[in-house]
Amino acid sequence: MKLSEIYNFLDQLSPFNIQESWDNSGILLGDRDSEISTVYLSLDIDENIIKEASENSLIITHHPLIFKGLKDLYDKTYPRAFIKEMI
């Protein structure tokens, strides 16, 4: 299934356009044309989920990995380390 299909389903279930202005919902990393084979659901992203997730997986979390602006991916702090590993 394409990531865009999952995104559209979630948007129908809970429209992204009604999120609070400070919230950061939606696709944070990835490509809408990607084929998704496995979906993981979690409250937050952690090391275990990243290690468990296979290629072509989608991780859906309640708390966004990127909540406010990032200026770089330089160090190994949260969320930078996770983002670098997932890229």
Residues within the annotated binding site for a divalent metal cation? 62-63
Residues within the annotated binding site? 62-63
Average pLDDT over every residue of 60-71: 80
Report long-range pairs for 56-61 (Cβ below 8 Å, ≥24 apart).
Answer: 58/3, 58/6, 58/30, 60/10
Q: How far apart are the first and last CA of the chain?
A: 20
What percent of the chain stands above pLDDT 90? 45
Question: 54, 38 in Cβ contact below 8 A?
Answer: yes
pLDDT confidence tier of residue 13, bands split at 50, 70 and 90: very high
- For residue 24, give the nearest of 16, 14, 12, 32 by alpha carbon: 16
The span from the CA of 80 to the CA of 78, in Å, is: 5
Question: 2, 34 in Cβ contact below 8 A?
Answer: yes
Is the model's pLDDT at 40 over the cut of 80?
A: yes
Is the model's pLDDT at 77 over the cut of 80?
A: no
pLDDT number for residue 65: 80
Average pLDDT over every residue of 32-51: 93
pLDDT number for residue 69: 76
The span from the CA of 55 to the CA of 74, in Å, is: 24
